[in-house]
Amino acid sequence: MDICLKDVGIVCNIGQSKQTVLKSLIDGNANALVKDTNLPLTESQFVGRVALNLDDKSKAFSSSNSSRNNQLAYYAFKQIEQSFNELAKGVDKKRIAVIIGTSTSGIAEGEDARKALAQNTQYPENFHYQTQEMIAPAHFIADLCQATGPVYSISTACSSSAKALVSAKALIEADIADIVIAGGVDSLARLTINGFKSLESVSTGQCAPFSQDRDGINIGEAAALFVMHSADSGIKLMGFGETSDAYHVSSPSPDGSGAISAMKLALGMAQIESKQVDYVNLHGTATVKNDEMESLAMHAVCGNDVFCGSTKGMTGHTLGAAGALEAAICWLLLSDLNSDNEIPANVGYEQQDSSLPEINLSQGQKMSSLKYCMSNSFAFGGNNLSLVLGK
């Protein structure tokens, strides 16, 4: 059974539509990560903040779902609403599912509410605890599209929303759902930024994936939602590979064995060889250890022949939304919107790290054709997932 990614909605710091995101990617937007002036942090950090006037006064938002996370998800959903409605005509709502990957949900609103409680001895009137439950964005999207089939969230750190796509594929193949809205959403919060700062994982400037001087990540926010169903045509989720390092809660296995296995499993399911892949969107967080491990894995699976790179030098690391966002980037590259078959440069890269295995980092090439893309998501807890998209 072929699983088609019929349409995608994207909201992130480099654009709020398919067209604007693709243009930023191809242009190599090196100025999208900016010093944060909105979150009262111990030290200001470069972040990937969505420059969008989010309006929570819409009828779509009640006190139980009014969060920045849901606002981002709302704007992503509006981009796919027409495609979804056309596909859903005559489909039983019980056969429509929603699976959303997230790691923050509405925790930023929880932070504000806790601060108000400390100052005023009571929570704000409009605060509802449900906004910060992990299931909140899935319930919110299900309400928007009136889905009454399986509705749930996945929270496995940075692989969360990549796993949402794999779970959607499983529901369709098991004949539990005909249509699945799957993807991810995460928004900026003090908890995540200060948490990564405490791990000494945050860059002192703009992140530089795979560079000699890389020193950590920049946190971003995003929403990316797919409409998925069974079809013979279109851009397809052709394969996936899921593995677990069982090595360390926050460090990847240095030998790259889990990542290597995930990539090989994805290629095997897609029934293609590594040399057939046109572009690999690397997890590429720009931390010292992740880039070491992933360079080793990429070299082991694809050698130095396949173009690859990290787009986190533009978007930042969007945590629970990263898997879906970067799969969406692959979708854009494969789509008719990318008529010149261009791939993005590995923005932030300046000087080669001679200690890393040699890989073919993209400088923004035009390809003769684009047929297959791979997207890697390697999360805390050694939770590895690789996706292969093709047309």
What's the rounded mean pLDDT across residues 70-80?
96
Annotated catalytic residue 128 = no
pLDDT at residue 274, rounded to an integer: 97
Is the pLDDT at 55 greater than 70, yes or no?
Answer: no
Joined tokens for residue 132:
């910060």
* Candidate list 4, 12, 145, 158, residue with the active-site label: 158
Q: Please list, in sequence order, all residues whose beta carbon lies within 8 angstroms of the beta carbon of residue 79, skipping any fewer than 6 positions away.
A: 7, 8, 9, 10, 17, 18, 225
When the pLDDT of each residue in the chain is averaged and rounded to a whole number, the result is 93
pLDDT in tens, 132-144: 899 999 999 999 9
SS3 for 353?
coil
385 DSSP β-pair partners:
242, 377
User: What strand order describes the sheet that includes 219-220?
Assistant: 34-35, 46-48, 219-220
Q: In Å, how far from its chain's centre is CA 349?
A: 21
Element (H, E) at 151: strand 151-154
What values do phi and psi take at 186, rounded to 5? -145, 145
Alpha carbon distance 328, 81 (integer Å) = 16
With both helix axes pointing from N to C terminus, report the angle between 18-27 and 322-334 in degrees, rounded to the nearest 10: 80
Lowest mean pLDDT of 67-76, 178-187, 194-203, 323-332, name the range: 194-203
pLDDT at residue 336, rounded to an integer: 97
Annotated catalytic residue 248 = no
Alpha carbon distance 249, 113 (integer Å) = 30
What's the rounded mean pLDDT across residues 141-166?
97
Is the pLDDT at 89 greater than 90, yes or no?
Answer: yes
How many beta carbons lie within 10 A of that of residue 289, not counting itself? 15
Query: Where does the pLDDT of residue 66 fall: very low under 50, low under 70, confident under 90, or very high at 90 and above?
Result: confident
DSSP secondary structure of 8-45: EEEEETTBSSHHHHHHHHHHT-TT--EE--SS--SS--
pLDDT in tens, 199-225: 889 999 999 999 999 999 999 999 999
* Candidate list 128, 139, 229, 283, residue with the active-site label: 283
* Candidate list 128, 317, 330, 373, residue with the active-site label: 317
pLDDT in tens, 316-341: 999 999 999 999 999 999 999 999 99
What values do phi and psi take at 228, rounded to 5? -120, 140
Element (H, E) at 99: strand 96-101
Instruction: Write down the pTM of the prediction.
Output: 0.95
137/380: higher pLDDT? 137
Joined tokens for residue 168:
């959607």
How many beta carbons lie within 10 A of that of residue 117, not counting itself? 13
Pairing of strands 236-244, 360-361: unpaired
Q: Name the DSSP letter for residue 287.
A: -
pLDDT in tens, 100-118: 999 999 898 888 888 888 9
Element (H, E) at 185: strand 179-186
How many beta carbons lie within 10 A of that of residue 51, not counting itself? 10
Is the pLDDT at 57 greater than 60, yes or no?
Answer: no
Q: Please list, in sequence order, all residues whose beta carbon lies within 8 angstroms of the beta carbon of residue 229, skipping any fewer than 6 positions away.
A: 3, 4, 6, 87, 172, 178, 179, 180
Alpha carbon distance 386, 239 (integer Å) = 8
Annotated catalytic residue 299 = no
pLDDT at residue 113, rounded to an integer: 84
SS3 for 327?
helix
Contact 234, 210 (CB under 8 A): no
Contact 309, 334 (CB under 8 A): no
